[in-house]
Every structure is written in C-alpha cells, then in structure tokens.
Amino acid sequence: MSMKLYSSLTKKYIMSLAGLFLLMFLLVHLTINLLLLFDDSGGLFNVAAHFMGTNPIIQAFQWVLFGGFAIHMLIGVILQIQNWMARPKRYNKRAISEESYFSKFMIHTGIIIFIFLVIHLTDFFVKKIGGVVPEITGGELAGMENMGILVVEKFKNGGYVLFYVTVFLILGFHLDHAFQSAFQSLGLNNNKYTPFIKWLSHFIAIVISIGFITIPVCIYFFK
Ligand code: HEM
C-alpha cells in the first residue's frame, strides 16, 4: 500500500516538473509567436523561427521538449487509469467535492491538447522537417524559410481560427489547475502561500490563453 502511494507521489512529482518545464516552453513559444503581430513584414518572426530552427543548442533542446511532453502525458494517463480503478473502493465524497471543478477534467482537457498538438505539428513542424516551407523572396532575408506566411495562410481560415481559439481556452483551464496542483505535488503548498499560488495560477492561465488567442484572431481580422 505504502509502496503504491510512494510511487504515485513520485509520478506526480515527475509529472509536475515536466509540466512546469512545458509551461516555460509555452511562454517562449508565445513570445516568439507574438512577433507575428508586431511586424507587418513577418521578418522578426522568421528570424526568430530561423534561429530556433537552426541553433544547435535549441535543436538539442527540442528533443528534451518532446521527451517532456511524452513523460507528462504518459504519467498523466497512468495516474488517471489508477484513479479510475481505485474509485469504486473510495466513497470519500467530501474529498471529491473539494476538488476544483476543472481538476476532474484534466485528462479530458489534456487529451484535447494532445490532439491539437498532433494537428499543430503536422501543419508546421512536419512541414519544416519535410523542407516544404516556402522561402522568402527578395530583401535581406531572401532564401530563409517563410514560416510566418504559412501561419498567416492558416489563420485566414475561419474554421481553423475557431479550432485554435477553442483549444487555447481549454489549454487555459488545463493550466489553471495544473499550476496550483504542481505546487501541491512538489510539496511547496505552504498554507500561507496558497492564496498567492491560486492567484498566480489564474494569472498565468489567463495570460497564456488570451495571449495565444490574440494571434489567430488578429491575423484573421487585421492581416
Ligand atoms: C497561435 C498559436 C500558435 C502558433 C502561431 C504556433 C506556431 C508554431 C510554428 C510556426 C511552429 C514551427 C516552428 C518551427 O519549427 O520553426 C510551432 C511548433 C511547435 N508548437 Fe506551436 N504555435 C502556437 C501554439 C502552440 C501551443 C498552444 C502549443 C502547445 C500546447 C504549441 C506547441 C508547439 C510545439 C511542441 C512545437 C514544436 C517544437 C518547436 O518547433 O518549437 N504551439 N508552433
């Protein structure tokens, strides 16, 4: 029993570390993507994307990132299955009702984000690996991959924009619970700081969700 408890706490610990690492990635990714909005030629974004796509350190890091996603998702699924299997034996209604509303949906929001990732990577990352991204013609950046134009083309499609916006709202709900839960799992939930962690959680979730949403919406309406 204690062995099982210990191993599930260890899993939560690792999952939380991987999750916080993914959060760092999201902040970097968001910052680079926002360049698309602040520069009409798309040059800034393309230079940043080119740097991220060619710098050897970042290239190596990409595998750490994919590993982080894999570990986070794998442990999430295992914990959820263990939780489902344990449920009939547990009649602790109070504990369940104390869970925040969205915490019950982490696996569902997680699966939606995973489906989004598969589509997202197919649309951009796989195209880059496959060498089918159009090149910039003319100017100082001639010959460089024009990832920006690929993004803008995608976001001229209303259905695609709606899909992205929906997923980003769901991502916000996922992060809102994930962040406070990570602090819990890492044993950093000193009662004194709980209100602050909760506040920070909402803040990060809103910044990331709204931040990502502005990109397809602004491109659709203003580019
Ligand atoms: C408006 C929102 C977004 C835009 C415009 C966008 C755009 C892009 C582009 C253009 C690439 C290819 C970069 C390259 O390889 O040169 C990429 C890669 C990637 N995106 Fe996004 N993305 C968005 C949101 C997200 C979100 C919310 C996630 C995670 C939940 C995500 C996860 C990834 C991952 C894992 C990669 C592959 C790693 C990398 O190339 O850095 N993206 N994205």
Give the model confidence (pLDDT) of 78-118 as tens digits: 988 888 887 765 555 545 444 545 578 999 999 999 999 99
Return the ligand 1 atom nearest residue 150 CA: 10
What is the residue extent of each domain of the chain?
2-222
What torsion, rounded to 10 degrees, do the Cα atoms 156, 157, 162, 167 define? -80
The Cα 93–Cα 17 span in angstroms is: 29
Picking from 161, 155, 162, the residue whose alpha carbon sits closest to that of residue 223 is 155
Return the ligand 1 atom nearest residue 53 CA: 16
The Cα 65–Cα 183 span in angstroms is: 21
Number of helical H runs and strand E runs in the chain: 9, 0
Top-level class of domain 2-222:
mainly alpha
The CA 120 to ligand 1 mean position distance, Å, reads: 7
The Cα 213–Cα 31 span in angstroms is: 13
The CA 169 to ligand 1 mean position distance, Å, reads: 16
The CA 9 to ligand 1 mean position distance, Å, reads: 31
The Cα 8–Cα 1 span in angstroms is: 11
Ligand 1 pocket list (CB less than 6 A) = 29, 33, 49, 52-53, 62, 113, 117, 120-121, 124-125, 128, 147, 151, 164, 171, 212, 215-216
User: How many residues are given for the chain?
Assistant: 223
The CA 11 to ligand 1 mean position distance, Å, reads: 27
The pTM (predicted TM-score) of the whole model is: 0.91
Q: What angle do CA 81, 83, 89 make, to 5 degrees?
A: 125
Q: Judge residue 21's burial from the number of C-beta atoms within 10 Å of its C-beta, 0-12 exposed, 13-18 middle, 19 or more buried.
A: middle
Helix (H, G, I), strand (E, B) or coil at 219: helix
Helix (H, G, I), strand (E, B) or coil at 145: strand
Cα-to-chain-centroid distance, residue 219: 20
The CA 221 to ligand 1 mean position distance, Å, reads: 21
Q: Are the C-beta atoms of residues 102 and 176 closer than 8 Å to each other? A: yes
Per-residue pLDDT of the chain (223 residues; tens, 9 = 90+): 444 655 888 999 999 999 999 999 999 999 999 999 988 777 999 999 999 988 999 999 999 999 999 999 999 999 888 888 877 655 555 454 445 455 789 999 999 999 999 999 999 999 988 989 999 988 888 999 999 999 999 999 999 999 999 999 999 999 999 999 998 889 887 788 889 999 999 999 999 999 999 999 999 999 8
Ligand 1: residue whose CA is nearest its atom 38:
62
The Cα 75–Cα 192 span in angstroms is: 29
The Cα 133–Cα 148 span in angstroms is: 10
The CA 133 to ligand 1 mean position distance, Å, reads: 15
Ligand 1: residue whose CA is nearest its atom 40:
125
